[in-house]
């Protein structure tokens, strides 16, 4: 069971994540969008969206530091375990509360604003359940562990297990030693990653770089004889 949950599931999720994004980009470019509902309602969106996005960004950065950077590296840099733990718990709790508060506002907006609710698909509902469930499991495990006075040192179990997956030498026994909350959080996260390519979350990998080189105003001529220079992108003549 440990091999199935903490070896097979992660590799399947990573494969679906990568292949799914490639497939989505090749065959559904017009669907690669946030499907923004800003036109329907802005007051709640102006409050919930920044809270959620800045919070989730801090959560992601915290996971990069906690899962990818080994404990020996922070010790070599002069950061004690006590200092690291205090900063990680403090910032992680604040970031998690920000993210959940923003998500709660966005869900409330989708449920109470008629046009936004009508534009909400089953795919969106599944995405919110997976996303919020993953965040709640992670935040709840961290907060409860510290409130009870018995926080788990995930850098001894979860972090090396996570890195072992990408080393191609997975060690499921490390994850099996972690509390149930960390195990559920990890499984929920990989389930979310597997669903990611087929949801609006793909917009995370979008950047409007084309706007940097696109002309402000596009003038076009129907006369094919005008001009001898090569046509720049965005200045193509209308046929």
- pLDDT confidence of residue 144: 83
On whether the pTM is more than 0.85, the answer is no
Residue 154: how many other CB atoms lie within 10 Å: 22
- pLDDT confidence of residue 229: 65
- pLDDT confidence of residue 75: 84
- Digit-coded pLDDT (tens) for 162-202: 999 999 999 999 999 999 999 999 999 999 999 999 999 99
- pLDDT confidence of residue 74: 86
**Hunting for tokens 């961290």 — which residue is that?**
142
Whether the CB-CB separation of 95 and 59 falls below 8 Å is answered with yes
- pLDDT confidence of residue 84: 84
Residue 223: how many other CB atoms lie within 10 Å: 8
Residues of the chain with pLDDT under 70: 149, 211, 214-231, 234-239
> What is the C-alpha separation between 184 and 147, in angstroms, rounded?
19
> What is the C-alpha separation between 205 and 104, in angstroms, rounded?
24
């Amino acid at each position: 069971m440990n091999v199935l949950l903490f070896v097979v599931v992660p590799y399947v999720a990573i494969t679906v994540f990568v292949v799914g994004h490639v497939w989505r980009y090749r065959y559904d470019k017009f669907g690669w969008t946030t499907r923004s509902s800003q036109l329907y309602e802005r007051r709640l969106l102006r409050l919930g969206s920044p809270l959620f996005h800045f919070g989730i960004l801090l959560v992601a950065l915290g996971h990069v530091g906690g899962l990818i950077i080994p404990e020996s590296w922070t010790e070599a840099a002069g950061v004690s375990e006590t200092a690291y733990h205090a900063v990680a718990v403090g910032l992680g709790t604040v970031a998690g509360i920000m993210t959940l508060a923003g998500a709660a506002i966005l869900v409330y907006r989708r449920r109470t604003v008629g046009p936004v609710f009508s534009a909400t698909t089953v795919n969106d509902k599944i995405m919110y359940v997976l996303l919020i469930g993953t965040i709640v499991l992670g935040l709840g495990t961290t907060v409860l562990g510290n409130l009870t006075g018995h926080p788990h040192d995930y850098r001894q179990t979860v972090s090396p297990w996570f890195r072992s997956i990408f080393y191609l030498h997975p060690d499921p026994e490390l994850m099996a030693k972690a509390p149930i909350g960390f195990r559920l959080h990890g499984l929920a996260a990989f389930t979310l990653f597997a669903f990611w390519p087929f949801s609006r979350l793909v917009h995370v990998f979008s950047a409007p770089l084309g706007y940097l080189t696109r002309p402000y105003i596009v003038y076009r001529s129907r006369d094919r004889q005008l001009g001898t220079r090569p046509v720049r992108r965005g200045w193509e003549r209308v046929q």
